[in-house]
Structure 1
Amino acid sequence: MKKNLIPAIRLTLVMLILCVGIYSGIVWLIAQVTPNYGKGKMVQDKNGKTYYANIGQKFDSDMYFNSRPSAVDYNASGSGGSNKGPNNPELLKDVQERVDLFKAKNPGEEVPVEMVTASGSGLDPDISVAAANAQINRIARARHIMPGELKRLVQQHTAQGAFGPAKINVLKLNIALDGVKR
Structure 2
Amino acid sequence: MNSPASTPRHGGILRPAIAVFAALSLVTGLAYPFLTSGIAAAVFPREAAGSLIRQNDRIVGSELIGQSFSSPGYFWGRPSATAPMPYNAAGSGGSNLGPRNPALAEAIQARIAALKAADPGNPLPVPAELVTASGSGLDPHISPAAAAYQAARVARVRHLAPGQVDALIKAHTDAPWLGVLGEPAVNVLTLNLALDKLSAER
Contact 1:125 1:170 in 2 (8 A): yes
Whether the 8 Å CA contact 1:71–1:81 is kept in 2: the answer is yes
CA gap of 1:87–1:18, structure 2 versus 1, over 3 A, is farther
Q: Is the 8 A contact 1:56 1:126 kept in 2?
A: yes
Alpha-carbon distance in structure 1 between the residues aligned to 2:45 and 2:99? 37
Counterpart position of 2:69: 59
Please tell me whether residue 16 in structure 1 is matched to residue 25 in structure 2: yes
SS in 2 for 1:26: helix
5+ long unaligned stretches in structure 1:
none
Q: Are 2:131 and 1:113 aligned?
A: no
Query: What is the aligned counterpart of 2:153 among 120, 138, 142?
Result: 138
- CA distance change for structure 1 residues 105 and 175 in 2, over 3 Å: closer, same or farther? same
CA distance in 2 between counterparts of 1:84 and 1:29 reads: 40
**Cα distance change of structure 1 residues 50 and 134 upon mapping to structure 2, 3 Å threshold:** same
**1:88 corresponds to which residue?**
101
Matched-pair contact (CA < 8 Å) for 1:126–1:168: yes
Larger radius of gyration: 2
Q: Which residue of 1 aligns with 2:7?
A: none
SS at 1:56 equivalent: coil
Instruction: Tell me how far apart the structure 2 counterparts of residues 18 and 94 of structure 1 sit (CA, whole Å).
Output: 48
Question: What RMSD, in angstroms, separates the aligned Cα atoms of the two structures?
Answer: 2.0
CA distance in 2, matches of 1:143, 1:37: 32
**Percent of aligned positions with the same letter in both sequences?**
44
- Using CA pairs below 8 Å that are at least 6 residues apart, which structure has the higher relative contact order? 1
Q: Which residue of 2 aligns with 1:26?
A: 35
Q: Shift of the alpha carbon at 1:136?
A: 1.1
Q: From the superposition, tell whether residues 86 and 30 of structure 1 become closer, same or farther in structure 2 (CA, over 3 Å).
A: farther
Q: Provide the secondary structure at the position in 1 that maps to 2:126.
A: coil
- TM-score w.r.t. length of structure 1: 0.87
Partner of 2:3: none
1:164 to 1:21, Cα distance in 2 relative to 1, 3 A: same
Give the drift of 1:20: 0.3
CA distance in 2, matches of 1:126, 1:167: 6
Structure 1 residue 6 displacement after superposition: 3.0
How far apart are residue 2 of structure 1 and its match? 3.9
How far does residue 115 in structure 1 lie from its aligned partner after superposition? 0.8
Partner of 2:92: 79
Letter in 1 for 2:191: L
Determine the structure 2 residue equivalent to 1:44: 54
